[in-house]
Amino acid sequence: MADSISPERRSRNMSAIKSKDTKPEVYLRKLLYHQGFRYSKNFSGMFGHPDIYLPKYKVAIFVHGCYWHRHSGCQYAYMPKSRVEFWQRKFDDNLHRDKLVQETLESQGIRCLIVWECTIKRMKNENSYEKKVVEIIIQFVKQSPKNCYLGNSNDLPLRYEI
């Protein structure tokens, strides 16, 4: 006997694993949808391909992998041990492109929100953190100064990362 888990039990386990493994951008999309935000399905045609675009607020949301996009000070943004020059060039290209995308969108009046993958990981594990991040995102998107986490409420940022 390989294992004694019943088929029902196994299927439950599988779906639990599956939901935990949801891609970070899908997870965030669902979360914002539950908050009543409606996102555009045509954002893939937009420069930089944001993961989520909220047309009503002209906000583009990018879920950034900490490794590829070099999340500063993050444990996941480690430097590979070999072919360091090759990787450094690749990382520099990514950072250059991210900057270009953000500046281009901002020049079109679109605000950019970066959500790091490690933030999403923590949100999945901690309900209270998830709630707090959702509030911050709402404040940024709606530029709502109520109970502001985003510093001076008269001076809400046009670009934010969390």
Identified binder of Zn ion from the candidate list 22, 46, 65, 74, rule CB under 5 A: 74
Strand (E) positions, 47-144?
A: 52-54, 59-64, 111-116
Nearest residue (CB) to Zn ion, 110 versus 113? 113
Give least dist CB 146 to Zn ion, A.
28
Provide the minimum distance between the beta carbon of 117 and Zn ion in the complex, in angstroms, as a whole number. 6
Write the burial class of residue 61 (CB in 10 Å: 0-12 exposed, 13-18 middle, 19+ buried): buried
SS3 42: coil
Stretch that binds Zn ion, among 19-27, 49-57, 99-107, 114-122 (CB under 5 A): 114-122
Q: 3-state class of 70 per DSSP?
A: coil
Q: Which of residues 53-72 bind Zn ion (CB under 5 A)?
A: 66, 71
Q: Is the dihedral of CA 140, 145, 149, 150 positive or negative?
A: positive
Binders of Zn ion among 87-106, rule CB under 5 A? none
Interface with Zn ion by CB under 5 A: which residues?
66, 71, 74, 116, 118
